[in-house]
Structure 1
Amino acid sequence: MAQLIVLGVADRDTAEKALDIAADLSRQQLLQLEDAAYAYKDEKGRPRIHQTIGTTGVGALGGALWGTLIGLVFLNPLLGLAVGAATGAVAGKLTDVGIDDDMIKQIGSQLEQGRAAVFLLADSATADRAIEAFAPLHPTVIRTNLTRENERELVEALRS
């Protein structure tokens, strides 16, 4: 089961550093990252979201492939390509995978001005190495789907 951890950090730059750390841990096979995002409030106090996985491009690519194949059957591959890419892009835009967008928006709207929240959805992790990597950012745990005991252990580990 995937584990969701939401960390509060000082600002947008720290949130970007956290995503860099998560990507590095993923490359080292220490964290199987399924999705990641961060939210922050802009200068006008509006919540902003940065997601790492975009579904629009993937949908367009898949739609273009299927549209071309269907277009070949009906002897008009260019029309099939165009229609397939357009419908695939729309389907990709409407598809929500990974971290729930509504939850990201809700937490983002509750942030104090200048603060940021980092959302990590991981299938498995080498916990001690991941905690060690994130600790220098001085994050606070906002939300998890861990057991209460595991969440308490995470909070304590990040404090030290």
Structure 2
Amino acid sequence: MSNLVVVGFPKVAEAEDVRRELVTIQQEHLITLEDAVVLEHGDDGHVHLRQAINMTAAGAMGGTFWGLLIGLIFANPLLGAAVGAGAGAASGALNDIGINDKFLAELAETLPQGSAALALLVRDSTPDRVIERLRRHAPHARLIHTNLSHTDEEALKAQLETARKQAEALRLS
């Protein structure tokens, strides 16, 4: 079962930095992410969701390949590629894997304007090692939402607070 964890940050850039670091950490097998979305409540009041995977683009790429292949079979590769890309893009736009976009948009509206959050769908992790690696972001991070059990949520809050204190101590020394 996957767990949803949403962590807020005062700036979009920091949420993006954490997401990039998590990709590196995932390559080291300390965390397995199913989805990672940066939510932004812009200064202009608009909500923006920055998906880790653009399903429309991925669908268009796959559709182009299959359309080109079918087009080659029927002697019209350009038409096949164009039709395949369109069909793939439409299919990709309709596929919503990971965290529900409507939920994310509603959550982003609750953020203060100009701030951001990082929504993570985590299949597996080593929380203490992950938080240790992200320690420098701890002073600005705040837990917004999770579907963890109360015990696990309290343990995560305690780990974040320990990381916050360690980062503050390093900053002061």
Count, aligned residues: 160
Work out the CA distance in 2 between the residues paired with 1:17 and 1:74.
Answer: 47
Distance 1:133 1:38 in 2: 19
Q: Which amino acid aligns with 2:115?
A: R
Cα distance in 1 for partners of 2:119, 2:137 equals: 14
Normalising by structure 2, report the TM-score.
0.84
Partners in 2 of 1:86 and 1:71 — Cα distance?
Answer: 14
**Conserved? CA contact 2:42–2:115, under 8 Å:** no
Pairwise CA distance, 1:65 = 2.4
Aligned partner of residue 96 in structure 1, secondary structure:
coil
Cα distance between partner residues in 1 of 2:47 and 2:68: 39
Aligned-partner residue type, residue 6 of structure 2? V
Greater shift, 40-49 or 80-89, is seen at 40-49
Unaligned runs of 5+ in 2: 163-173
Aligned to 1:55: 55
5+ residue gaps, structure 1? none
Corresponding residue of 1:68: 68
Stretches (4+) displaced over 2 A: 68-78, 133-136
2:149 to 141, 147, 154: 147
Measured after TM superposition, the shift of residue 74 of structure 1 is 3.2
Instruction: Spell out the pairing of 1:1-160 with structure 2 (5 A cutoff).
Output: 1-138=1-138, 139-160=141-162
The alpha-carbon deviation at position 144 of structure 1 amounts to 1.4
- Displacement of 1:107 in angstroms is 1.0
Displacement after TM superposition at 1:71 (Å): 2.7
Instruction: Provide the rounded CA distance (Å) in 2 between the counterparts of 1:56 and 1:144.
Output: 28
1:91-141: CA deviation from partner (whole Å, max 9, x where unpaired): 112211112111110111000122211111121111111122233323111
The share of aligned pairs that are identical, in percent, is 39
1:70 deviates by 2.9
- 1:156 is displaced (CA, Å) by 1.4
| TM-score scaled by length of structure 1 | 0.91
For residues 48-81 of structure 1, the C-alpha deviation after alignment (integer angstroms, 9 at most, x for no partner) is 2211111112111221222233334433332212
Aligned-CA RMSD value: 1.6
